Structure 1
Amino acid sequence: MKFDELDLDFRLLQLFITIYDQGSVTAAAALLGVGQPTVSHGLERLRKIVGDPLFVRAGRGIIPTAHACEMAPRIRQMIEEMRSLTRANAFDPHNPEHSLHCSIGANDYEVTVILSVLFHRLQDYEADIAFKIRPVRSGQEQVAKLRDGSFDLTVAADYGGDASDIIQRALLDEEMHCYYDPAFHTVPPDTLDVYCAASHARIVFGDDDSAAIDEELAKMGRRRRTVLQVSSFDNIPRLIAGTPVITTLPTRLAGTVMAGLATCRCPVSLPSVRFYQSWHVRNAASQGHRWLRDQIFQIARSIECQEGKAES
């Protein structure tokens, strides 16, 4: 019967290490919970596969050959690696030998409100943690990049689908407010007439330039005049400050990106926007990814708790 290295399996490797450590076929059989003939048969198979006696008699016991001594540390490593296939690797953010490198899909809002808090929090940990943050242009692109691995995780508005291989966890609900330079608006644009008469700036992330506000206005037989479209929240306050142009953006940007501009309620009734973190099922069991997702969720809950206390 012909043997080759492909005949090696976990049981034979475990049998070899047990004999090596015990220095006895009988003791190895007792430790493994099998009969001595089973161990002897397995050892004979190993000898034929490897082409070496592996163990030779010395007095009342046996000792490993030189080749067996060379094999032992490599086989220990192989056994440990085979065992690791059946358990998720732990991630310890305090361990400098652990690493977590992630590509995160997110736009300006999510970076400002959530990921900036996350990034500062991570400076307290010793593990090698690094991010690549890239924009999410559309829901379709979001799903595609989660599937092909370009994104490990996204923090973004709902992608608008029900892909069975994409997992989502809700983070925050956001309302929309109107921002303007008070030097050019003595009356806040919080009525429909004033709002529609004003010139508007808006955010467009991808090729789809439709907006919920315009759809709602159309239902009422109204429209607004858009004079500026940009792909970054950061650009809007620099552009509209000192002009009569107004913009409608998330409320939580008032104290950060939109600081310095006045704000009022939006006269167009809009549903709140829900933001999620989303990931592909292949990353569901990753300990590092799970830890990161928990950090993001905790930050979102903390934001809502702080806002709740401020309102009470």
Structure 2
Amino acid sequence: MNIDELDLDFRLLRLFITIYDQGSVTAAATLLGVGQPTVSHGLERLRQVVGDPLFVRAGRGITPTAHAHDLAPRIRHLLEDMRSLTRIDQFDPHNPQHHLHCTIGANDYEAAVLLPTLFARVQALAADITFKIRPVRRKQDMIDKLRDGKLDMAITIDYGGDASDIMQRSLFDENVQCYFDPRFHSTPPDTLERYCAASHARVVFDDDDEASAIDTELARIGRSRRTVLQVATFGNLPRLISGTPVITTLPIRLADSVMAGYAVCRCPVVLPSYVFCQSWHVRNAASRSHQWLRDEIFRIARTIAGRKSKQ
């Protein structure tokens, strides 16, 4: 049988992605509404075109080969591009007839630092643009909601993108500093001794994962700190520790918003900076309105990245 790359078509590519996502020929056949022999025949054609087994036996199921893992994100892009050929997708933010309704996954850091500028910008535009902001507590929760459409995009700390159907773009780096009431600290808690001697408040988003990079690093060097308060959001913390000697270690850029009015000093625990990203599902990659929004967020992030910290 003479088969070459021109034998690849939308159906074969969709068949590959369905098998890849389902991890089963039988499940793929059910989802596609065809018989298992049809899927098996299509898979054999793919193997001949690509020159790789693509999926191999693993116990009672199958697992993708390394080449299949490499192909998956590229094929998703191809499928999305092919779908976009059949739809008109234009977006002009200055046209009152154009619409963008977006659900964004973000926590209160992003709501304090980045989203106010974005929201202010869109209010000056003619297009019908609306947002829903939903919290994101766990990496897998974010991925699942992007996949099923409950989120159109997310702005979070970089989760270490390892999902082939989730795309990412880095926005800016962030680090932490100490916040404290100077009335209770004649000397800033900027040494390990003063830092470890102080009482601390922490923000813990996920009750199932209370690990802290600070506590891990302190344990590594044989030190520890005493946490007297844990809260689920940044917004509640300043009111709770106001008028107390309790200190907290939070992102630097919260100094102008959530933690306004608190004194700051460097954190004596040396930690690497972390990256904030925007993430979206590949199905939205070619959408003109989503592209416009992602570019707006990126432009705002570039401004944020250039701001000096208050340290």
Give your verdict on TM over 0.5. yes
Deviation at 1:149?
1.0
Letter in 2 for 1:162: D
For structure 1, list consecutive stretches of 5 or more residues without a partner in the other structure.
1-82
Contact 1:158/1:275, CA 8 A, preserved across alignment: yes
CA distance in 2, matches of 1:84, 1:227: 54
Contact 2:199/2:225, CA 8 A, preserved across alignment: yes
Deviation at 1:95?
1.0
TM-score, normalised relative to structure 1: 0.70
Give the corresponding residue for 1:204: 204
Give the corresponding residue for 1:58: none
Contact 1:184/1:244, CA 8 A, preserved across alignment: yes
SS of aligned partner of 2:140: helix
Residue range with higher mean Cα deviation, 207-216 or 176-185:
207-216
CA distance in 2, matches of 1:180, 1:285: 46
CA distance in 1, matches of 2:93, 2:179: 40
Letter in 2 for 1:246: I
Deviation at 1:168?
0.4
TM-score, normalised relative to structure 2: 0.70
Contact 1:196/1:222, CA 8 A, preserved across alignment: yes
Give the 5 Å matches for 1:94-113: 94-113=94-113
SS of aligned partner of 1:109: helix
Contact 1:93/1:127, CA 8 A, preserved across alignment: yes
Deviation at 1:139?
1.1
Give the corresponding residue for 2:121: 121
Give the 5 Å matches for 1:1-312: 86-207=86-207, 208-307=209-308
SS of aligned partner of 2:144: helix
Give the corresponding residue for 2:34: none
CA deviation digits over 1:58-116, x for unaligned, max 9?
xxxxxxxxxxxxxxxxxxxxxxxxx9852541101111111111110001111111111
Deviation at 1:144?
1.2
* Alignment length (residue pairs): 228
CA distance in 2, matches of 1:257, 1:113: 9
Letter in 2 for 1:298: R
Contact 1:200/1:245, CA 8 A, preserved across alignment: yes
CA distance in 1, matches of 2:143, 2:226: 32
SS of aligned partner of 1:136: coil
CA distance in 2, matches of 1:130, 1:168: 22
Identity fraction in percent: 66
Runs of 4+ in 1 over 3 A off after TM superposition: 305-308
For structure 2, list consecutive stretches of 5 or more residues without a partner in the other structure.
1-82
CA distance in 2, matches of 1:217, 1:305: 30
CA distance in 1, matches of 2:84, 2:261: 54
Contact 2:173/2:273, CA 8 A, preserved across alignment: yes
Deviation at 1:270?
0.5
Deviation at 1:161?
4.0
Deviation at 1:256?
1.2
Deviation at 1:306?
4.4
CA RMSD between the two structures: 1.8
